[in-house]
């Protein structure tokens, strides 16, 4: 039953691979662009099917295009996951051993923390006690910058959090390494690193901020869905981008592609 991949699928996959992660809006635009470039039948609400075709062919390679949510703004993203990896080996070709160790330690700090974040000071302290090879302050700052550029970490005002790409791609690794330390969001059941926690010590369920925003929308007396205690945190507003991400977009939202010039000779029917 597995459909072979057409050039439109291959182009989508290549672009996803070279970008590492794309938002669902970008994915929709890319889907359209790939189908039009290769003269494939295009239907805007068929993106999931389109990706399924790719995933079926990727399965023997232990790869998978997975959808995940940003913990910051609730936007949906697509990233390529390696299902055979049980380590952060996918980073290993880009970083030295001590840099990888620093990443693991940073992730430890973040997972251990209550707010799912680590300050640069804490990370710098780690750099000083690496087992592989110590990193100096300047070197650590450069490596951290690289992590951010390569989309493994987010940084805001000296505080580091796990990026959406990191969470999507390394969820399997994190569940394996951290076991019970990793909790899932009560609402969406996905790994929750940055989250709000129920104040009731006997309860302690976690919810992503975008999930809290959606769950408690319009209610001015929020209660924990599990233990019914008052939910003592500030309820964030639903962000504009969040609502866009969860609805199906009309094709007018995607940027109009330029008409193909002489690509007709090269375009293949898929």
Determine, following the binding rule CB under 8 A, whether residue 157 of this chain makes contact with other proteins. Answer: no
9-38 footprint of other proteins as x/- string (CB under 8 A)? -xx-xxx-xxx--x---x--xx--x---x-
Does residue 75 belong to the site contacting other proteins (CB under 8 A)?
no
| From 7-15, 156-164, 174-182, 214-222, span contacting other proteins (CB under 8 A) | 7-15
Q: Which is nearer to other proteins, 29 or 102 (CB)?
A: 29
- Number of Cβ atoms within 10 Å of the Cβ of 40: 19
Tell me: does residue 142 bind other proteins (CB under 8 A): no
Strand partners, 67: 78
**Alpha-carbon distance 130 to 148, whole Å?**
20
Q: Which stretch binds other proteins (CB under 8 A): 160-168, 182-190, 241-249, 252-260?
A: 252-260
Helices (H), 161-219: 164-178, 209-215
- How far lies 55's CA from each of 66, 68, 124, 251, in Å? 9, 15, 40, 24
- Other beta carbons less than 10 A from residue 90's beta carbon: 15
Contact pick of 40, 47, 58, 81 for other proteins (by CB under 8 A): 58
DSSP 12-81: HHHHHHHHSEEEHHHHHHHHHHHHHHTT----GGGHHHHHHHHHHHHGGGTEEEEEEE-TTT--EEEEEE
Q: How far is the CB of 26 from other proteins (least distance, A)?
A: 5
Write down the least CB distance from residue 165 to other proteins, Å.
13
Residues that bind other proteins (CB under 8 A): 4-5, 7, 10-11, 13-15, 17-19, 22, 26, 29-30, 33, 37, 54, 57-58, 60-62, 82, 84, 90, 93, 254-255, 257-258, 260-263, 265-266
């Amino acid at each position: 039953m597995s459909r072979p991949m057409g050039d439109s699928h291959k182009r989508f996959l290549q672009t996803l691979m070279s970008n590492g992660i794309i938002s669902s809006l970008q994915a929709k635009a890319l889907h359209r662009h790939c189908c039009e470039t290769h003269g494939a039948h295009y239907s805007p609400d068929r993106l999931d099917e389109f990706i399924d075709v790719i995933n079926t062919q990727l399965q023997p390679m232990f790869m998978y295009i997975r959808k995940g949510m940003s913990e910051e703004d609730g936007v949906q993203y697509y990233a390529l996951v390696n299902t055979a990896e049980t380590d952060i080996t996918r980073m290993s070709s880009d970083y030295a051993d001590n840099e990888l160790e620093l990443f693991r330690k940073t992730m430890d700090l973040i997972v251990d923390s209550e707010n799912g974040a680590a300050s640069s000071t804490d990370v710098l302290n780690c750099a000083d006690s690496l087992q592989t090879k110590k990193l100096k302050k300047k070197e650590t700052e450069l490596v951290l910058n690289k992590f951010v550029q390569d989309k493994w970490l987010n940084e805001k005002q000296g505080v580091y959090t796990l990026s959406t790409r990191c969470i999507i791609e390394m969820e399997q690794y994190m569940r394996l390494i951290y076991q019970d330390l990793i909790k899932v969001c009560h609402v969406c059941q996905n790994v929750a690193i940055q989250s709000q926690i129920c104040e009731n010590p006997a309860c302690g369920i976690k919810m992503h901020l975008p999930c809290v925003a959606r769950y408690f929308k319009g209610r001015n007396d929020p209660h924990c869905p599990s233990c019914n205690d008052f939910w003592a945190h500030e309820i964030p507003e639903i962000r504009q981008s969040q609502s866009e991400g969860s609805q199906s977009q009309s094709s007018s939202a995607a940027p109009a592609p330029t008409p193909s010039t002489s690509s007709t000779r090269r375009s293949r029917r898929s």
